[in-house]
Amino acid sequence: MNHLEPPAQWLVHMRAALQLATDASAPRGENPRVGCVIVDDSGHVVGTGFHLGAGTAHAEVVALAAAGEQARGATAFVTLEPCRHTGRTGPCTQALIDAGVSRVIIAMLDPTEQAGGGSAELEAAGIEVFSGVLADESRAINAEWDYACRACRPFVIAKTAMSLDGRVAGAGGVPLAISGPDSLTFAHRCRAEVQAIIVGTGTVLADDPELTIRRGVSIVGDPPLRVVVGGRPVPLNARIRNDAAPTWIAGAISPRVVLAELFVRGVRSVLIEGGPTLLQSFIDEDLVDRYLWFIAPTLIGTGPTALAAMEAAVGVTVRSVRVLGEDMCITAEPRRVAPDLFKE
Ligand code: AOF
Ligand code: ZN
């Protein structure tokens, strides 16, 4: 595999492939977002394609179908290393070989054990392969998926909405409307970006949340799975049990086991929506990868704080501060000096 300075024309085609990968009709989910552009010898684009989610054809196969006979001798630009496995669909490496493509330019390598390694297969078949062209850009559009595949657990986002004095409810745990409308809409958008939403039984009993995507936010693909963790029974008439989205009542199991089970079910990103005890249990095990901290301009005085007693203080790096109406939302990530989650 070569790592030369890419010609300008390659960047143009790879950018187009990245653009396809992020098409609005491509859902986020178990599978990555992938785009492919096939270009003939004279520089003409003869086929394009992108992936529409688990169970549908891969980007390369869509682009090859569009190119037909013109793929022979052509160059394929793919944002992810072509897979070499037979999963829900056949191996893209074989499809590229069969179509007679002579060169494959790749952005990022495939981090999964089952599909990764396709480059070597292409090379063994006499195809010229270059990788690393706009790799960071491709990783960025699949950041959570990439992380999840390496860690073998979903990427975990923790959301909390608190008052200026750090409270999440009133005296005695009485639920209060803390966040303003802009924060609520943003929070629904965050729900639309994940495949599962986790809450504790305490939150279900106190707030009776529905955990669906509303407030005019549209969603491509399936609604996120609603997950309840904790030992207390979930009332039969709890809104989380309605048929607006699937629900998994997980019972009193540890954060690691919840995440392992969700990963097996194909979940690559989750949102934790509280409460303090559940969130603390994930933080204590260093299982939170991003914090979304909503702060509303109200002082409550007494009542539960955003977190229960933690084992140790956690330092975070702030990535952004948004103003949402009268509220603020801080996005932060844990400072993992040596992230042991990564294989490399
Ligand atoms: C995609 N779309 O365009 C490419 C993928 O379950 P399967 O058979 O669809 O395989 C999914 C895996 O295939 C995925 O995790 C990734 O490693 C690889 N390449 N996947 O969903 C695509 N090229
Ligand atoms: Zn494939």
Q: What are the residue boundaries of the structural domains of the chain, listed by start?
A: 8-141, 151-334
pLDDT, one tens digit per residue, over 136-165 is: 999 999 999 999 999 999 999 999 999 999
- Taking the CA of residue 82 as reference, the ligand 1 atom at the shortest distance is 23
Reported confidence tier of residue 344, pLDDT bands at 50, 70, 90 = very low
CATH 3.40.430.10 is held by the domain 151-334: yes
CATH 3.40.140.10 is held by the domain 8-141: yes
What's the whole-model pTM score? 0.92
Tokens representing 341? 């989650």
pLDDT of 26 higher than 90: no
Whether 32 is in the pocket of ligand 1, judged by its Cβ within 6 Å, is: yes
Q: List, in order, residues 6 or more apart from 130 with CB less than 8 Å away.
A: 1, 2, 3, 4, 6, 10, 103, 104, 105, 106
128 noted as active-site residue:
no
Reported confidence tier of residue 329, pLDDT bands at 50, 70, 90 = very high
203 contacts 278 by C-beta, under 8 angstroms = yes
Strand order in the sheet with 290-296: 247-251, 225-229, 196-200, 269-272, 155-163, 290-296, 327-334, 316-324
What's the CA-to-centroid distance between 286 and ligand 1, angstroms? 29
- Taking the CA of residue 30 as reference, the ligand 1 atom at the shortest distance is 15
Query: What is the radius of gyration, based on Cα positions, of the chain?
Result: 23
Residues measured by CB to lie within 5 Å of ligand 2, the ion: 58, 83, 92
